[in-house]
């Protein structure tokens, strides 16, 4: 991506963790396998609580001296507070960063490639509501739910379809909430699913209950949305 095409993503924040134990530490808290991630590349992930409920979703990006997590801006502070008591027992630490999440015109068409990147040069970056809406539309089309604070702790990864977008690795070792997530998956007891909805003619907000009793978890400017609802017959 070329710098002159970069736009800041206002809904995203970065949590930076540095130190020799960073990957080992995160392996115990994220749902994907960070050892399979490559340097500077996006790895979809979620963090779950002890009950297996998703408290955030997003991506990790490996750096030379640590890992950056991209999460929704409404969750940055709470995720840092969540990790802080545990990280003190590892050779890693949370640090402040001046980096911002950005995207580009060309990147918007490259799902599962480097459509997001981090930048420390904020002077050359622009913000565009239209470009942000295009990014949200892309995520929604590909059924990737970027969890906001109002939804944190309410759904299992499978309810949000995160296992379908490579954000959950069922072969990796233990992480917080892993036992419940795995049990639900392998016992076939998932009772809710993610589905696309068209809400172009009706005004809604994330968290709303729809007429079919599903919960709206994401909506783009065009009215294309994602909702979590009960699987028929379950």
Domains of the chain, first to last:
3-189 (3.30.1360.120)
Mean per-residue pLDDT of the chain: 89
- Chain position carrying tokens 């919960």: 215
Residue 102's pLDDT is 84
Res 130 pLDDT > 90: no
Res 111 pLDDT > 60: no
Residue 115's pLDDT is 61
- Chain position carrying tokens 């990737």: 144
Of 133, 131, 138, the closest CA to residue 6 belongs to 131
Structure tokens at 143: 């059924």
- Can you name the residues that pair with 225 across neighbouring β-strands? 197, 219
Residue 106's pLDDT is 58
Choice among 9-13, 18-22, 197-201 with the minimum mean pLDDT: 197-201
Residue 110's pLDDT is 39
Q: Determine the Cα–Cα distance for residues 19 and 92; give it in Å rounded to an integer.
A: 4
Residue 232's pLDDT is 82
Res 57 pLDDT > 60: yes
pLDDT band at 124 (very low <50, low <70, confident <90, very high): low
Q: Is the pTM of this model over 0.95?
A: no
Res 199 pLDDT > 50: yes
Residues 51, 88, 167: CA angle, nearest 5 degrees? 40
Q: What is the DSSP string of 36-82?
A: G--BT-EEEEEEE-TTS-EEEEEEEEEETTEEEEEEEGGGHHHHHHH
Q: Report the residue count for the chain.
A: 234
- Chain position carrying tokens 């949370």: 94
Would you put residue 65 in left (φ > 0), alpha (ψ -120 to 50) or beta?
Answer: alpha
Residue 234's pLDDT is 60
In the DSSP assignment, the letter for residue 97 is -
């Amino acid at each position: 991506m070329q710098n002159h095409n970069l736009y800041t993503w206002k809904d995203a924040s970065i949590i930076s963790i540095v130190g020799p134990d960073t990957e080992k530490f995160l392996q115990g808290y994220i749902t994907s396998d960070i050892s399979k991630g490559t340097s500077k590349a996006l790895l979809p992930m979620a963090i779950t609580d002890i009950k297996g409920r998703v408290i955030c979703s997003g991506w990790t990006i490996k750096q030379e001296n640590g890992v950056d997590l991209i999460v929704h801006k409404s969750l940055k502070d709470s995720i840092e507070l969540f990790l802080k008591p545990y990280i003190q027992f590892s050779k890693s630490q949370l640090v402040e960063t001046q980096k911002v999440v950005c995207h580009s015109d060309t990147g918007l068409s490259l799902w599962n490639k480097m459509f997001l990147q981090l930048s420390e040069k904020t002077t050359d970056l622009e913000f565009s509501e239209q470009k942000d809406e295009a990014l949200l539309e892309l995520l929604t089309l590909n059924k990737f739910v970027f969890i906001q604070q109002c939804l944190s702790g309410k759904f299992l990864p499978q309810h949000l379809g995160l296992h379908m977008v490579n954000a959950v690795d069922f072969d990796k070792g233990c992480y917080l909430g892993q036992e419940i997530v795995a049990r639900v998956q392998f016992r076939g007891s998932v009772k809710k699913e993610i589905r696309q909805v068209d809400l172009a003619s009706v005004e809604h907000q994330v968290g709303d209950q729809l007429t079919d009793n599903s919960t709206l978890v994401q909506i783009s400017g065009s009215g294309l949305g994602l909702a979590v609802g009960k699987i028929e017959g379950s």
